[in-house]
Amino acid sequence: MTATLAIGPYNQSERPALEESFNAHVVADPSEAAGMDPAARSTIKAIAYKGHLPFGGAEMDLFPNLGLVANYGVGYDAIDVDAANARNIRVTNTPDVLNDDVADLAIAMWISQGREMRQAEAWVRDGKWASDGAYRLNRKVSGGKVGIMGMGRIGRDIADRLAAFKTDVHYHARSEKQTPGWTYHADPVALANAVDFLFVALVGGSATEKYVSKEVIAALGKDGVVINISRGSTIDEDALLDALEIGAIAGAGLDVFVGEPDLNPRFLALDNVVLQPHQGSGTVETRAAMAKLQRDNVAAHLAGGDLLTPVN
């Protein structure tokens, strides 16, 4: 009987390592796990979890000997950590190994948005360059006033990159951090007022739901651009769509959406947005590092050792 269950959309290249390391049984989602034989469920000591479907107390109670939920991803908002605490279940995540990729994508969306790379490419592909002449002038990104909402590990990596673009860096976080002269704003609306480009690098979950509020979006103003690589839930999406549709802000670069992958169709009708399929950490190298860190946490738990990246 196997002691490890893997739950989530693990693809064919990810399964062998889980199977070879732990003889892990792999199921697609929590409801498939619920359908397992109770005797098999009672052997499970650790779950390697992937995806964004909720995994709460009811799911944990399916596994009476569960001691660890090892999340694939730095954001663990899908896992109810309070429910895990109440059951003495440990939770781990995969921080740091993905910071570079997520920060890179944030920067790429920022440049793509400002320099209108998507529209400019269409200009080339549609033959307009030859027929109509040079593409229209667009917007300088280097040297601008940029803001970061959330100065955790990923926010910090975004800020470090932005500093190299000679920008004036402002940020909002729960508390002021040690930074090389970046301007702290205790109030998110004050941050939005101070900048033209706003990067959202908040943790997900109920505490940050719609943290980028209607008021923050209004404060960003008609030249403002918002870039989100965190969770769709951190922005008031209806307020964002309203603002984008009437030009109350200039644009957005979004890797995450409420209800993804079924994003609000209003996004698809907009020309002032860059839309990405939640692929911030989606490189071969980083996904391999995330998977290894997840497996290492499972192995540490099964061996009774210290967890590498505990959450609780």
What is the binding site for ligand 8YV (CB under 6 A)?
50-51, 72-75, 98, 278, 281
Q: In angstroms, give the least distance from the CB of 85 to ligand 8YV.
A: 20
Positions marked catalytic: 231, 260, 278
| Measured distance CA(213)–CA(236) in Å, rounded | 5
Nearer to ligand 8YV, 103 or 220 (CB): 103
Which residues, 6+ apart, have CB-to-CB distance to 267 below 8 Å? 241, 254, 257, 273, 275
Nearer to ligand 8YV, 27 or 74 (CB): 74
Distance set, CA 178 to CA 46, 95, 103, 173, 286 (Å): 38, 20, 19, 12, 28
Distance of CA 229 to the CA centre of its chain: 5
Nearer to ligand 8YV, 8 or 188 (CB): 8
Nearer to ligand 8YV, 74 or 195 (CB): 74
| Measured distance CA(148)–CA(151) in Å, rounded | 7
Nearer to ligand 8YV, 9 or 35 (CB): 9
Q: Order of strands across the sheet with 4-7?
A: 25-27, 4-7, 46-50, 68-72, 90-92
Residue whose beta carbon is closest to ligand 8YV: 73
Q: Please, is 96 exposed, middle or buried when counting C-beta atoms within 10 Å of its C-beta (0-12, 13-18, 19+)?
A: middle
- Residue position matching structure tokens 């090389």: 180
Provide the β-strand partners of residue 273.
252
Nearer to ligand 8YV, 98 or 225 (CB): 98
Q: Could you give the residue ranges of the DSSP H alpha helices within the chain?
A: 15-22, 30-34, 38-41, 57-60, 81-86, 99-114, 117-125, 128-132, 153-164, 188-194, 214-220, 237-246, 284-302
Which residues, 6+ apart, have CB-to-CB distance to 79 below 8 Å? 49, 55, 56, 69, 71, 91
